[in-house]
Chains A and B, each alone.
Chain A
Amino acid sequence: MSTHITDSAGSTRSSRVGLATRLTRPGLTVVIYLLLALVAVIALVPFFWMATTSLKTAAEAGTYPPTLLPSLPQWHDYTDVFNAVPFLTFFRNTVFYSLMVTLGQLAFCSTAAFAFARLQFPGRNVLFLLYLATLMIPTSVTLVPSFILMKWFGWLDTVWVMTIPGMLGSAFGTFLLRQFMLTIPRELDEAALIEGASLFRIYWQIILPLVRSPLVVLTVLTVMTVWNDFAWPLVMLNSNNVMTLTLGLAVFATGGTEEYTNIPLVMAAATMTVAPLILIFFVAQRYFIRGIALTGFGGR
């Protein structure tokens, strides 16, 4: 039927529709913004509550009705945390693990992706199918056997267990980068090959610069995973000197007889655990959102 509409008829109709929507528009817009604001508040309120509680005295945290903001901000909880637990060590460990695993992922996922996307060799398709199949494996299946494996390696409660398994790269990262490398025109490699460039040079100087943004996506996803992971360090680690922030927080918040007597202290620890990643998120927001939306990578 659309072919029958003449220009004039079409324009009068659409202007009528436009008028009708414009009449209700201001009211509707207010409602839309109010609803969206409500959703944003719900998303952020726990963080607000965490941060404000961390600045209250233990007594004020327990008052009813609750105070919205601390009457007198108590910054000492933040220094107290460092005295109560080796929080600085946890922080340093987490940064170190994130860095090592990210570097490893970038290096070895990109080399493997390069081979899968740009090179031909016998067994490539079979191997790639194997990689695809492993993407389906839930982490809960590998956790228990990995513990046994790490025990055999003698890596339990060491930095090795937190770095080596992640550093060799993942099927997931390889798959992600391969998909992007496939979109690069093949003429580029062929031209370089004719001019005598080595495979490594093609990988390093032609392909890698062209997948810069997927590499950033892989970086933020990896940092996020290492920073937030709980089950793996919980199972593998035991000593303060190798613990991550997330595990340290759990031990600190549940440990001892003082559980929940000093809520502001626990909230200060929680704030310091999540703050760095939230900061990174705001800097590299685009990559986080793109990466997670693209891959469905919740991780949890």
Chain B
Amino acid sequence: MRLMSSRSLATVERSSTWRRSFRKYWPAYLFILPNFVGVVVFLLFPVLFALYMSLQNWDGVTTPQFIGLSNFRNIFGDDIFWRALRNTVVYTVLTVPTGIVLSLAVASLLNQRVRGLSFFRAAMFVPVVTSALAVAVVWKWIFDYNNGLINDVLSMIGFNQIPWLSDPAWAMIGLAMIGVWQGFGFTTVVLVAALQNVPQSLLEAASIDGAGAWRRFRSITLPLIVPAVLFVSITSFISSFQVFAQAYYIGNGGPDYGTTVMNLLIFQRAFQQNRFGEASALAYILFAIIFVVTMVQLRVSRNATNAASEFEV
């Protein structure tokens, strides 16, 4: 490369034609080739193909029929779509803020130089590494109306049993409980790491100046861990917007569409009703929502970080 830059411009231009550069750089391309083929065939092609499919009326077997934006028009006129979107938003609102606030509390406890930090961290992390489907199988049993653990305990302390699986609203709450339970360990681990990076000297200086625990948290700790909070809020948002296995297993969207989330609707449209065009359009709508919300989160956080740093200075 250094040699190349010392040559005259004209030579560089001539030598940078594709054929010449390929002859020179083929080992580099060879290193990338298998991976590149994989990314193109199994990632890029599907994404573009989904875009094409979203404009077709297609059952996956017969010749696709171009119908423009009709799939999108049908979707926006479909009550079940709005129900699924609402369910997904409700699920996200129930899981993401709850998960982050709870994790922040637990992470603060773990940050008190407790002994056995690695034990607690590992215990909380077990749900993160287990399969969402297996976890759903266990939780469905725990939620069982007559013999489930939760209702048994509720009865023992004198409460009524809860129709976890037969009432749409309770089913959604149950789904959110599984979500918080399973994502909790991840969020906590990230936040503990962030808290441990807050300089102890700053906190000590503030407490010498008479700042209480809450004040220290608000004015020092929180601004410093904003990036970590943002990171977990974006990743939690993305995964909660794509929740699938639990919703599929717990009630296959039911009862009464109470747990029909976006990803489940996509699955049903494509693989149970063979409406591949409509399913692809739905997937793109989901994609667009995730993209826009992530961008907004990034923008808001940048402003928040700026505001916080200005305040501190």
Query: Which residues of A lie under 8 Å from residue B31 when comparing CB positions?
Result: 111-112, 114-115, 119, 199, 203
User: Which residues on A are within 8 Å of B, measured CB to CB?
Assistant: 1-2, 5, 10, 13-14, 17, 32-33, 35-36, 39-40, 42-47, 49-50, 53, 61-66, 107-109, 111-112, 114-116, 119-122, 124, 127, 130-131, 134, 136-149, 151, 165, 167-171, 174, 199-200, 203, 224, 227-228, 230-231, 234-235, 246-247, 249-250, 253-254, 260, 263, 266-267, 270, 273-274, 277-278, 281-282, 285, 288-289, 292-293, 296, 298-300
Could you pull out 7 A-B pairs where Cβ atoms are within 8 angstroms?
A134-B43, A141-B46, A145-B50, A199-B27, A273-B134, A274-B130, A285-B125
CB atoms of B21 and A122 under 8 A apart = yes
Query: Which residues of A lie under 8 Å from residue B155 when comparing CB positions?
Result: 64
Query: Which residues of B lie under 8 Å from residue A273 when comparing CB positions?
Result: 131, 134
Report Cα–Cα, A39/B105, bound state, in Å.
11
**With an 8 A cutoff between CB atoms, is B273 at the interface?**
no
**With an 8 A cutoff between CB atoms, is B110 at the interface?**
yes
**With an 8 A cutoff between CB atoms, is B82 at the interface?**
no
Q: How far is the CB of A49 from chain B (nearest CB, A)?
A: 6
With A127-B32, A230-B132: A137-B43 Cβ-Cβ less than 8 Å: yes
Given A49-B138, A146-B42, A147-B270, 9 new contacts (CB under 8 A) = A10-B208, A32-B114, A138-B241, A140-B244, A142-B42, A167-B38, A250-B133, A288-B129, A296-B235
Q: Which residue of B lies closest to A295 (CB)?
A: B235
Query: Which residues of B lie under 8 Å from residue A65 when comparing CB positions?
Result: 152, 156
With A14-B204, A36-B114, A62-B146: A249-B123 Cβ-Cβ less than 8 Å: no
With A122-B25, A138-B242: A36-B106 Cβ-Cβ less than 8 Å: yes
Query: Which residues of B lie under 8 Å from residue A115 when comparing CB positions?
Result: 28-29, 31-32
CB atoms of B152 and A298 under 8 A apart = no
Query: Which residues of B lie under 8 Å from residue A62 when comparing CB positions?
Result: 146-147
**With an 8 A cutoff between CB atoms, is B300 at the interface?**
no
Q: Which residue of A lies closest to B34 (CB)?
A: A108
**With an 8 A cutoff between CB atoms, is B185 at the interface?**
yes
Q: How far is the CB of A3 from chain B (nearest CB, A)?
A: 12
Q: Which residue of A lies closest to B17 (CB)?
A: A122
Q: How far is the CB of B16 from chain A (nearest CB, A)?
A: 6
Q: How far is the CB of A300 from chain B (nearest CB, A)?
A: 5
CB atoms of B263 and A281 under 8 A apart = no
Query: Which residues of B lie under 8 Å from residue A203 when comparing CB positions?
Result: 31
Give 4 closest A-B pairs by Cβ, nearest first: A168-B38, A296-B235, A228-B131, A112-B35
Q: Say which residue of A114, A149, A247, A293 sits within 8 Å of B193 (CB atoms).
A: A293
**With an 8 A cutoff between CB atoms, is B141 at the interface?**
yes
Q: Which of B66-74, B167-175, B276-284, B301-309 faces chain A? A: B276-284
CB atoms of B126 and A47 under 8 A apart = yes
- Interface bin, chain B: 35 or more
CB atoms of A278 and B129 under 8 A apart = yes
CB atoms of B46 and A149 under 8 A apart = yes
Report Cα–Cα, A112/B244, bound state, in Å.
31
CB atoms of B147 and A116 under 8 A apart = no
CB atoms of A39 and B120 under 8 A apart = yes
CB atoms of B137 and A144 under 8 A apart = no
**With an 8 A cutoff between CB atoms, is B80 at the interface?**
no
Query: Which residues of B lie under 8 Å from residue A168 when comparing CB positions?
Result: 34-35, 37-39, 41-42
**With an 8 A cutoff between CB atoms, is B232 at the interface?**
yes
Q: Say which residue of A124, A141, A234, A292 sits within 8 Å of B283 (CB atoms).
A: A141
**With an 8 A cutoff between CB atoms, is B36 at the interface?**
yes
Q: Which residue of A lies closest to B118 (CB)?
A: A285
CB atoms of A137 and B287 under 8 A apart = yes
CB atoms of B43 and A246 under 8 A apart = no
**With an 8 A cutoff between CB atoms, is B221 at the interface?**
no
Q: Say which residue of B181, B183, B280, B294 sits within 8 Å of A42 (CB atoms).
A: B181
**With an 8 A cutoff between CB atoms, is B44 at the interface?**
yes
**With an 8 A cutoff between CB atoms, is B85 at the interface?**
no
Report Cα–Cα, A142/B284, bound state, in Å.
10
CB atoms of A300 and B280 under 8 A apart = no
Query: Which residues of B lie under 8 Å from residue A142 when comparing CB positions?
Result: 42-43, 46-47, 50
CB atoms of A235 and B271 under 8 A apart = yes
Report Cα–Cα, A235/B182, bound state, in Å.
24
CB atoms of A148 and B60 under 8 A apart = yes
Report Cα–Cα, A227/B119, bound state, in Å.
24
**With an 8 A cutoff between CB atoms, is B162 at the interface?**
no
**With an 8 A cutoff between CB atoms, is B243 at the interface?**
yes
Query: Which residues of A lie under 8 Å from residue B118 when comparing CB positions?
Result: 285
